[in-house]
Structure 1
């Protein structure tokens, strides 16, 4: 018997109330904000609120916001032409966002890595090489995440689909199980190490998590271009420092009860033997993966767009039979992301078009007038980082706050690319705050190996470390490479 799909109607109440209140107080809106800008703000904030309360999947929520934008006359559905010239872009142009398509294509590449078994083989080799001691296992977990992160734009998929299954199997090998005291033997340590290293790798590569691509898109709205290689050049030093320090720090602050792990190497060897020799699909996948990374690195110098590179890679995966059209269509996470990311960036663009972002940035700029631009940039980064406690979605958070903060930083005198890149990296490391801060944290915290108190207390400490490394060493490194 068919039934209606479940919708959490109560979760709609707060977003709808917020939207209506903002909409109907338009007569008393601040001077300098147009009526269209104010109405767009009402829909945008209501949509962001619904992304947080989650009455349904985020794609559904954003589609409702998109429909309201069109039906209330704030954007035409199709392009408006006059005398053969484009007068106004239609709302459907939202789905031509190249950053969103880049993430979708990267999802497909990630699917190939998982499907062929290449990701699992890489992981098992790292465990074999570094798994003699618990500390070595921690570094192995970090290395697995690092290797797979450039082509896995969902840190939740990376943590949940590639790394956590290995962690869970390893923990069981040492008789360490979730939700009881045995979790502290090994599982808790490995899970929390993966969470923290996942945060670092998410900040290191432009294509390592979805909020990074939102930052790239929004920076583009401000006329600032962030590219794949430029991102890596800026982030590599603070990220590598953290990748070296963090597994050791987790080992000291949250140590496993088992220190020696001779069984890990045997366990990895057994599973590698079960997998057998590297298959032809794995070899082809490895070549395409490596070629994709190289082309992303060279994209700005060879004038080949990163999204085009990703499309080429997917085409090769299809031609060589690594993926099938059915695989592509079944990658629902990618198509879901294409919908909501495109819509949220479109809405932010409308706020810019209607002048709201310029007005807001001007108001904040007045409040920090006279302050040194470097101090302003650091303050804005800290605001972005710590307000993440209020958000269950880095996507919603970045969409709401990144662009206004970026414009303020530039208005205060900060070099454009430096400001965009610095805030973008902070929008990645802010995922270290809570157990609901990112898809990766949600996946890992739900495992039952680390309790909420441990998660929050330790995350606060590691957050301070990231702020110090990225905020001090990161800025000094970016000065050394000529970004300011």
Structure 2
């Protein structure tokens, strides 16, 4: 007998309360804010709160918000044309967002890496080469995450689908079990190392996590273009410093009980032997992956859009038989992102169009008029970072705060590209705060290897480290390469 899907209707209460509160306070809205802007804000806030409480999956929450926006007359569904002139852009155009499609295509590329077994083979080789000691295993884990991150816009897929299965197998090899005193032998160290590395790689590449693409899309609403290679150039020095030092710091602050790991090399060698020789699908995947990375790096020089490159890559994967149309259709995470990211960016665009973002940036800037733009930018970055303790979703957090903070920074006099890039990097490293800070954090924290108290204490320490590296060295580096 078929039944209805279970929905936690209680989790609709908070979004509904916030939405109605703002909607019915329209008559007493602040001076300078239009009726449309305040009503759009009510729907946007209700949607963001819904993305936090999650009564239904995030794509469903945003779709409801999208529908309300149209039904309440804040946007027409289709383009509105009067006397041959476009007077209102249709809401349906939200799903033409190129940043959202870039993520979708990157998900498909990532699926090819997993499907062919190329990701697992690469991971095993790193363990074989660097796994003689526990510290070497930490760096091997980092190298694995780093290598697959450019084409894996889901840090949860990277951590949970590629790296975690390897960590679990390694931990069991050394008798390290979750929710058990033996967790400290090896598993806890490797899990926490991967968590930190995942944060760093997420900041390094524009396509390494979904919140990055949200930042890119929202920055475009402020008239700023962030592209793949300039992003890499801005992040490479602070990220490289962290990639080189963080595994060592984790080893010292949260050391494994087992220091020597000769079994790791033997285990990896055995696993590679079972896999056999490099298969044709793996070879094709490797070639297309390399071509994709090269084209992304040269996209600005060649004048090719990063999204188009991703489409070309997926087309090649289909043409060569690495992926099938069925593979694309079954990648539900990608299609979910297409829905919610497109809608959230559309809502932010409406807030800008109705003048709310301009009003709030002007209002905040007035209170910061005696502060230099550099100090203002740093303060705004810290606000973005530490308010993440209040969010269980970097998606919701970036959608709510990135564009207002960026417009304030620009209004304070910060160079546009610098402000957009600096805040985007902080929106990546803010994931280091808690065990619920991102899907990747949730995947790793639920493994049972790291206790919650340990997670919070160590994350706070590493958070300060990231702020110093990205906030001081990162800014200095961006000055050196001419971003300000």
TM-score bracket, normalised by the shorter chain, equals over 0.9
1:2-401 to structure 2, matched below 5 A, reads 2-401=2-401
Shift in Å, 1:86: 1.8
SS in 1 for 2:255: coil
SS in 2 for 1:300: helix
Shift in Å, 1:81: 1.2
Report the TM-score, using the length of structure 1 for normalisation.
1.00
Shift in Å, 1:82: 1.9
Shift in Å, 1:88: 1.2
Query: How many matched pairs?
Result: 484
Residue by residue over 1:286-332, the C-alpha shift from the partner in whole angstroms, topping out at 9 and shown as x without a partner, is: 00000000000000110100000000000000011100000000000
Residue by residue over 1:53-85, the C-alpha shift from the partner in whole angstroms, topping out at 9 and shown as x without a partner, is: 110100000000000000000000001112223
Report the TM-score, using the length of structure 2 for normalisation.
1.00
Residue by residue over 1:143-201, the C-alpha shift from the partner in whole angstroms, topping out at 9 and shown as x without a partner, is: 00000000000000000000000000000000001011010000000000000000000
Superposed CA RMSD in Å reads 0.5
Residue by residue over 1:215-248, the C-alpha shift from the partner in whole angstroms, topping out at 9 and shown as x without a partner, is: 0000000000000000000000000000011000
CA distance in 1, matches of 2:475, 2:138: 28
Q: Which moved more, 1:79-88 or 1:15-24?
A: 79-88
CA distance in 2, matches of 1:424, 1:337: 19
Residue by residue over 1:2-55, the C-alpha shift from the partner in whole angstroms, topping out at 9 and shown as x without a partner, is: 111011100000110110011001111000000000000000000000000110
CA distance in 2, matches of 1:124, 1:151: 19
Dislocated runs of 4+, deviation >3 Å: none
CA distance in 2, matches of 1:100, 1:149: 17
Q: Which runs of 5+ in 2 are unaligned?
A: none
CA distance in 2, matches of 1:258, 1:98: 47
CA distance in 1, matches of 2:87, 2:12: 35
Q: Which runs of 5+ in 1 are unaligned?
A: none
Q: 2:419 matched to which residue of 1?
A: 419
Q: 2:433 matched to which residue of 1?
A: 433
CA distance in 1, matches of 2:54, 2:136: 39
CA distance in 2, matches of 1:410, 1:37: 21
CA distance in 2, matches of 1:138, 1:85: 60
CA distance in 2, matches of 1:6, 1:309: 40
CA distance in 2, matches of 1:379, 1:43: 28
CA distance in 2, matches of 1:363, 1:436: 32
Asked if 1:403 corresponds to 2:403, the answer is: yes
CA distance in 1, matches of 2:325, 2:85: 37
SS in 2 for 1:147: helix
Shift in Å, 1:370: 1.7
SS in 2 for 1:12: helix
CA distance in 2, matches of 1:243, 1:49: 34
SS in 1 for 2:347: helix
SS in 1 for 2:8: coil
